[in-house]
Amino acid sequence: MAKFNKAKAWNSNLNFNSEVKAVPAIVVQGIELAHEGDIEAALVKFKKAQ
């Protein structure tokens, strides 16, 4: 999400919601954490993605 915000700072004409664009990556991180057995951290990621 930071990269999206940085791009928007460089070019204010960009029109996108960085939080929406970041959701798939956050979900992937949650899945990876769940596979590693860190269920609590995975749940945090999934809740953030909602």
What does the pLDDT look like over 12-47, one tens digit per residue? Answer: 676 655 566 678 888 999 999 999 999 999 999 999
Its pTM stands at 0.60
In angstroms, the CA 50 to CA 43 distance is 11
Question: Is 22 in contact with 5 (CB distance < 8 Å)?
Answer: no
Q: Where are the alpha helices (DSSP H) in the chain?
A: 2-10, 18-35, 39-49
